Amino acid sequence: MSDVLTYAIILAAGRGERMLANKNKMLLEIGGNSLLELCLTRFQENECIDHIFAVVASEDILPDNQSEIEQKDKLEEKYPKLASLVAGGKTRQDSVYNGLEAVKKHAADYCGRVLVLIHDGARCFVPSAVLESVTDALKTERCAVVAAVPVTDTIRQISDCRLEDLQVPREHLWQMQTPQAADLDILLHAFAHADQEGFLATDDIALLLRIGYPVRVVRGDRRNIKLTTPDDFEMARLLYETEYFKE
């Protein structure tokens, strides 16, 4: 498989509004490391990944009086696979697009297949088995790949806090996680198409489905949670004390 280069784009340029932390949640720390660093560690340590781009908001990586260059050097030293930091955009979709453009430049002289795993930095505990399943599926089939888990709760529709008499059958319902991944050229095409149509989505698979590209689901993991609210963070802190997130 020497003709394949695998990139990860780690998204950390959101505002974390639902976390109510008065700062980007990716800067919150668990066990002395920021969520961004916890996530970078997962990708750094995984053999499937060749290069990483982290998409960040520039105001977030300039704490205290460190210069941008110092901060960038520090991270790149700690995480040798980190090719560079990339400035985020207004929406998640814009941030991914900026990451894809950075990958495109970095891989410009490469002749083999370029695979890209797009990952929510807020899923900072992604197990390595999930990264492996996604990359393995991507290498063996010409399709996009998404990690997902089956819904386990009973799902009903509500309207204005009242239950409607509608129970959504659970068998076919899965929760989408990240990584969401595909070949670079396919992703660039899907994003350009979405841009032309003014189509905005909360994940990348929606854009691939929109161009009719096949998407395969691989098993994600319940530990691959997206830290979104203060409850999620509190739970993650408690679980981190146990061995829950270790594989």
Q: Which residues bind ligand CTP (CB under 6 A)?
A: 11-18, 26, 55, 88-92, 95, 120-122, 226, 228
Q: Quote the least distance from Cβ 13 to ligand CTP, whole Å.
A: 3
Q: By C-beta, is 13 or 147 nearer to Mg ion?
A: 13
Closer residue to Mg ion (CB): 12 or 107? 12
The least CB distance from residue 17 to Mg ion, in Å, is 7
- Return the residue nearest ligand CTP (CB atom): 14
d(CA 122, CA 228): 7
Q: How far apart are CA 225 and CA 60, in angstroms?
A: 22
44 binds, among ligand CTP, Mg ion, none (CB under 5 to 8 A by kind): none
Q: Out of ligand CTP, Mg ion, none, which partner does residue 18 contact, by CB within 5 to 8 A per kind?
A: ligand CTP
Reduced to 3 states (helix: H, G, I; strand: E, B; else coil), residue 118 is strand
Q: Which does 85 bind (CB under 5 to 8 A by kind): ligand CTP, Mg ion, none?
A: none
| C-beta separation of 168 from 157 below 8 A | yes
CB of 108 to ligand CTP, least distance (A): 23
**Residues 9 to 28 in contact with Mg ion, rule: CB under 5 A:** 14
Peptide bond just before 214 cis, omega within 30 deg: no
> Within its chain, how far is the Cα of 24 from the centroid?
16
Q: How far is the CB of 47 from Mg ion (least distance, A)?
A: 31
Are the beta carbons of 89 and 98 closer than 8 angstroms? yes
Helices (H), the chain: 35-44, 68-78, 92-106, 128-140, 184-197, 205-210, 230-241
Q: Which residue type is seen at 192?
A: A
Judged by CB under 5 A, the number of residues near Mg ion is 1
**Residues in touch with Mg ion (CB under 5 A):** 14
